[in-house]
Each structure stands twice: as C-alpha cells, then as structure tokens.
Amino acid sequence: MSSSVIETKKLTKTFNGRIHAVQDLSISIEEGEIYGFLGPNGAGKTTTIKMLATLLDPTSGSARVNGFDVVKQPSKVRESIGIVFQEPSSDELLTGYENLRLSALMYDLPASEIESRIDGSLELVELNDRRNDLVKTYSGGMRRRLEIARGLLHRPRILFLDEPTLGLDPRGRETMWRYVERLTEELRMTILLTTHYMEEADSLADRICIIDKGKSVAIDTPARLKRKVGGDLVTIVADSPRIAEIRRLKSVRKIEQKDGTFVITMDNAAAHLQDLLKRVGKVDSVEVRSPTLDDVFIKHTGRGLEQAEGGWFEKMVQNTTNKE
C-alpha cells in the first residue's frame, strides 16, 4: 500500500459534452504534503478540487481521498476534508466567533467540544484578539484566515485551498503562506492548493502539478522543475554580438533573439559569464537570472503564465458559469 492520501486515475470532467475542463489527470499526493496546482485561469483547477470534494461527479476516471472513493463513498470523503473556496462565505454582519459557531453547528460537532475547537482554530490563524469584531471590519487577509479557521473546525486530515491569496496584496499573501505552512507543521495536514501565482507555488508547495487546458503537463518539486529548464538565463542587449563564437562556448545551450535582445541559456552563469561577454562586444545591458516557474510553464506550453490568462471574454464567461 502506498501512503497516498489523494490519488486520482485519469480523472476527467467534461461539461456539456464539449468543454474539456479536466482531462486524464493522474496524481498522487502523500500525507503531510503541500501540493500545488499551478495554472492559468480556466486550466481546470477549481473543477479538480470540486471533484475531489464530491461537489462534482467525474465524467470518467476515479479518485480516492483519504482512501475513500469520491463517487462511492462521498460522505466518508467529506468527513476527511476541509475546503476553502475562492469566494468568501462568511457573514460580514456577524463576528468572527459567531461565524465559526454557526459552522460548528452545521458540522454537527459535539457540543462539549465546540468552544475549544473554535478557540483552537482562531488561535491557529491568529484571529483570537479579533474574534468579537464584526467580519466587515476585517481586512481581506483576515477574512481569508477566518475561512481557513472555518475549514479546520472539524479537524480534517486534508484541506483544499482554492486560490487562497487571490486578490491579497503581497504582504497579505506572505502572511497567508506562513499560516498554511503552520497547518502542515502543527497539525500534519495534507494540503492541496491551487494558484495562478508562480511565486506562491514556488514558495509554498512541496510538489507542483502544472496544469494547462485541463491537462497536467509537469509534476515535480519546484526546484527540480526549474532545474529541468536547464541552466541560467542571461539576457543581453547588444548591437552585434558574435553569435557564431558564442554558440561555440561549451556552457551555452541555447540562444534566442528578438530585436537586439538575446536570451542565452547557459550552465553556471557565475563561472562562465566573462567568457560570454568577451564574445559579445559592446554591451548595453546584461541580466542574469535563474529559471522561474514561468520559464517552466513556457517550456511545457510554449507561452507564459501571464499570456496564458484568458481574455476578458473568457473570464466573463467563466464568472457566469462558475456561479452554479
């Protein structure tokens, strides 16, 4: 037996017989992992989470969550998971505490444990000092944390976080990352999170599944995914670099050119940059960087994560269809 907490086999969801939201997704998530789904808008991230959470039936394929089949044992699956969706669901006109109390009653938690569960959940996301304030006075980040506290009330083994930092500013985002890390460290939870922010996947996830147009295109640790892009990226702006000579350098793997800008992929730029520059001649600017997950995404899909974002029409259609 493997120690997979979540396992899917060729999981597929087709809407209306023609929208291939998720296609043949086969993943396996280990206990205690923070597993990230990274992909642009419309990639199929939310649809996957909904299938794993038993909110949508797969069109074909199968999935097990905490050992239970999502189609045949939905209530067992639901007991095992907590979910935090993109859209906040707290009541703004109630306090944080009141919101959690309502959820605790809905979860049917034993009365003797309700208070301590609420305390523990609020403690974990550091909202205890604001528990008696109305949610409408909370910042965006605090509201998200309250959603997480709610998802933790029944102490699930597995937590699904759908775009947990969408719309938060960079500081709110980093604070949120720390809370998510605490969940795995202190509660040993397994976390599946979706994001279209590459920094988020990079900084939080132990492993990432890069998903595009419903298909998984690469799965690995962020470090290995980036390493597989190969080498460092040196961007040079110069008039007339001696390309043939540059190509002869052993460290150089690839040269791409666009209007006076050359992007050169090379091994260990720190050691070989001098050799390279000698052959470039007069240089207007040089920038050296290691590959990012965006480079990984480009390698696998031919376009960047930003470019892959749907246009306004696609977003509008998606916003309307997601409401169901």
Ligand X SMILES: Nc1ncnc2c1ncn2[C@@H]1O[C@H](COP(=O)(O)OP(=O)(O)O)[C@@H](O)[C@H]1O
Report, in this order, helix, strand and coil percent for the chain, each rounded to 5: 40, 30, 30
- Rounded CA gap, 73 and 77, in Å? 6
| Residue among 29 and 49 whose Cβ is closer to Mg ion | 49
Binding of residue 48 to Mg ion (CB under 5 A): no
CB under 8 Å to 319, separation ≥6 — which residues?
none
Shortest Å, Cβ 45 to Mg ion = 5
In whole angstroms, how far apart are CA 82 and each of 5, 79, 107, 176?
14, 8, 11, 17
- Rounded CA gap, 40 and 136, in Å? 30
Pick one of 4, 11, 35, 39: the residue that binds ligand X (CB under 6 A): 39
Binding of residue 45 to ligand X (CB under 6 A): yes
Q: In the range 47-66, which residues lie near ligand X by CB under 6 A? A: 47
Binding of residue 234 to ligand X (CB under 6 A): no
Shortest Å, Cβ 162 to Mg ion = 6
CA dihedral 154, 97, 118, 175 (to 10 degrees): 90
Taking contact as CB under 5 A, which single stretch among the options 44-52, 100-108, 151-159, 293-301 is the one that binds Mg ion? Answer: 44-52
Taking contact as CB under 6 A, which single stretch among the options 150-158, 177-185, 198-206, 314-322 is the one that binds ligand X? Answer: 314-322
Shortest Å, Cβ 212 to ligand X = 9
| Residue among 15 and 136 whose Cβ is closer to ligand X | 15
Binding of residue 254 to ligand X (CB under 6 A): no
Q: In the range 12-31, which residues lie near ligand X by CB under 6 A? A: 15, 19, 21
- Rounded CA gap, 27 and 273, in Å? 40
Cβ proximity of 6 and 158 under 8 Å: yes
Q: In the range 117-146, which residues lie near ligand X by CB under 6 A? A: none
- Identify the H or E element spanning 123: helix 111-124
Q: Which residues bind ligand X (CB under 6 A)?
A: 15, 19, 21, 39, 41-47, 318, 321-322, 324
Q: Which residues bind Mg ion (CB under 5 A)?
A: 45-46
